[in-house]
Chains A and B, each alone.
Chain A
Amino acid sequence: KQEVTQIPAALSVPEGENLVLNCSFTDSAIYNLQWFRQDPGKGLTSLLLIQSSQREQTSGRLNASLDKSSGRSTLYIAASQPGDSATYHCAVSNSNYQLIWGAGTKLIIKP
């Protein structure tokens, strides 16, 4: 059974710092891996999707990497801003419809 773990559960850093969020999964037979952002009182928003054949994806200040063989992904946020404060979720897909989710990392960027 696929399990997804995100460490740390919470992270607080000063504005301007670069940071890395971690995600690990137990079954390397995945279709893709996705990173989502959740703001309080709002739904989740997809940030980046990495297909199983890819190593990384970039969008603006965000870069997500995937190492299937070791069951790991990282989300790198450059030059963090207070607006980046949110909970970040990692989810892997083992099929064409079902996502298996980590518990999320709550990120606080201090001005």
Chain B
Amino acid sequence: DADVTQTPRNRITKTGKRIMLECSQTKGHDRMYWYRQDPGLGLRLIYYSFDVKDINKGEISDGYSVSRQAQAKFSLSLESAIPNQTALYFCATSDWRGGTQETQYFGPGTRLLVL
């Protein structure tokens, strides 16, 4: 089984709808991240969480919210979807133990289309 899973894998929704993207991990990592990927651009950080009680905004948090329900679960919500939120969304985890060797482990992504 995959260490980082995302549901759904694909989603089509309409402008104004509220949707939730879910992420679960079995790696036991404390840190979790949500990114979006747009054609021709690098990944951009939406939100990140260092533990269940520590949630922080990333570079592009406007229009998004998150919930860290447990160490293993981190959900991303679009309160009122708009077409420019059409993108590929990735969840990632990491296990920082100090120093500079942290890397991130990614889920397979959720492709979202907002009509």
Residues of B within 8 A of A45 (CB): 106
Given contacts A43-B4, A43-B90, A43-B109, contact A98 B45 (CB under 8 A): yes
Partner of A43, one of B48, B50, B96, B108: B108
CB distance from B42 to the nearest CB of A (A): 3
Partner of A4, one of B40, B42, B104: B42
Q: How many contacts A-B (CB < 8 Å)?
A: 62
Chain A, residue nearest B35 (CB):
A101
CB distance from B111 to the nearest CB of A (A): 9
Are A101 and B42 closer than 8 Å at their CB atoms? yes
Chain B, residue nearest A47 (CB):
B103
The answer to the question of B101 belonging to the interface, with a C-beta cut-off of 8 Å to chain A, is: yes
CB distance from A53 to the nearest CB of B (A): 8
Q: How many residues of B contact A (CB 8 A)?
A: 25
The answer to the question of A81 belonging to the interface, with a C-beta cut-off of 8 Å to chain B, is: no
The answer to the question of A93 belonging to the interface, with a C-beta cut-off of 8 Å to chain B, is: yes
Partner of A102, one of B42, B48, B102, B105: B42
Q: Mark B32-75, 1 if CB is under 8 A from A, else 0.
A: 00000000111111001010000000100000000000000000
Residues of B within 8 A of A96 (CB): 96, 100, 102
CA distance A20 to B41 in the complex (A): 21
Q: How many residues of A contact B (CB 8 A)?
A: 26
Chain A, residue nearest B106 (CB):
A43
Are A46 and B103 closer than 8 Å at their CB atoms? yes
Chain A, residue nearest B96 (CB):
A96
Q: Which residues of B68-115 are within 8 A (CB) of A?
A: 90, 92, 94, 96, 100-109
Given contacts A43-B90, A89-B43, A102-B42, contact A51 B96 (CB under 8 A): no
Residues of A within 8 A of B4 (CB): 43
Residues of B within 8 A of A (CB): 4, 31, 40-45, 48, 50, 58, 90, 92, 94, 96, 100-109
A/B interface sample: 15 pairs, CB < 8 A: A9-B40, A32-B100, A42-B108, A43-B92, A46-B103, A49-B101, A49-B103, A51-B100, A89-B42, A93-B102, A96-B96, A97-B31, A97-B50, A97-B102, A102-B42
